[in-house]
Amino acid sequence: MIQIHSNLKKGELKLKPENKDDLWCLSQIIDTNDLVQAKSLRKIKTGSGDDRAAVVRKLVFLTLRVEKVELDDHLRILGTVEEGTDDVPKGSHHSFAIQEQDSLMIIKEKWLKFQLEKIKEAVSVKTSPVLLCVFDREECYLALMKRQGYEVIAHLEGNVQKKSVEGSGSGNFFDDILKKVEEIISRQRVDYIIMASPAFWKDEMMKRVKDDGLKKKIILATCSSVGESALTEILRRKEIQTALKDDRTTQETNLVEDLLTAIAKDEKVSYGMKEVKTAVDGGAVSMLLVTDGLIKKMREQKSYEKLEHLMKSVEQIKGEVHLISSIHEAGRKLDGLGGIGALLRYNLSY
């Protein structure tokens, strides 16, 4: 993300998203009733009647009062025109289709602390390019880490012979995995390669790695099984957290694990909208975790103001607010608890 302009006294931030992660970030911090300024192509009818040739596309600069935000292959911002042109009058409905490298100005009455921190992170903190590889002698999952989770990019299956021929087929399969890894890193920069397996398979794999440059990138880890769940499992391991201490997905996983640990111990914790609201009203919340899935749901139900009020209240009592992505497993676990949870300064008596 590139920050072009900032005047928080006026509530203004002008930003340019550089990738899909930045578009996701913007989708989480643009709220209903915010003002967004951007350029847009508008169909303008210059003729009259059914003269199709009289319809032209014109580049206009507009200010929208936000009603809805959607994200797919681009960021779609829908609302009513607050400041328009003669061709696009005030009060008419319009939408922006924000793509990578499109700049926009966001104007809020008040920026929340966690929103500014997410922008700061997107502007200054770049996710280390990390390739995840979990495997055994039968299958392998390869995934690239993203700021809001990870993306599985390959699933390989080995041609394993009968178990009576112990280890047969593994060697060639491990060579196939290495070949795929080398193919991926030839196309894009990768700082780390986390290789994880049950038992000793990772050690067998390392015997086949001859390139010293590749060896320096590899971090070994152990997982209990092979599958997409193993990708989340290895991110919780201490050696991986040390190597990836600045990675967003790892941070979010750790925060959710702290919440789950507190729930297991039944101490200084609250989860679910009703219970968390009680904790916030009592001034007890030290850390609030909210999934983007819950934000999306409440926006669709037009009840987001309730959640926004909770987040503002937590910041007013000097608590921290953290947004958790529902894409990775930690976020899905929090969604299973209602999409919201809080670590407390003290236990509440209900």
Residue 120 structure tokens: 């700061």
Please say whether the beta carbons of 45 and 55 come within 8 A.
yes
Cα(172)–Cα(176) distance, rounded to whole angstroms? 6
Domains in the chain with CATH codes: 2-124 (2.30.30.870), 130-246 (3.30.420.60), 252-344 (3.30.1330.30)
| Mode of pairing for the β-strands spanning 285-291 and 35-45 | unpaired
Q: H or E stretch including 132?
A: strand 130-135
Q: H or E stretch including 336?
A: none
Q: What is the DSSP letter of 154?
A: E
Q: pLDDT tens string for the chain (350 positions)?
A: 899 999 999 999 999 998 777 888 898 889 889 999 998 877 666 666 555 556 677 788 899 999 988 887 789 999 999 987 777 888 889 899 999 889 999 999 999 888 998 898 788 755 567 899 999 989 999 998 876 678 889 999 887 554 434 444 456 899 999 999 999 988 887 888 999 999 889 998 999 998 888 888 898 888 888 988 888 888 777 767 666 655 677 788 889 999 999 999 988 999 999 999 999 999 999 999 999 889 889 888 888 889 988 988 998 898 998 988 887 888 999 999 999 999 999 988 65
A 10 A CB-CB count for 202 gives 21
Cα(2)–Cα(74) distance, rounded to whole angstroms? 17
The pLDDT assigned to 166 comes to 43
The pLDDT assigned to 169 comes to 46
Please say whether the beta carbons of 221 and 132 come within 8 A.
no
Using the Cα atoms of residue 76, residue 81, residue 86 and residue 87 in order, give the sign of their dihedral. positive
pTM over 0.75: no
Residue 72 CB contacts under 8 Å (≥ 6 apart), including other chains: none
Cα(200)–Cα(214) distance, rounded to whole angstroms? 20
The 10 Å CB-count burial string (b at 16+, else e) for 156-172 is bebebeeeeeeeeebee
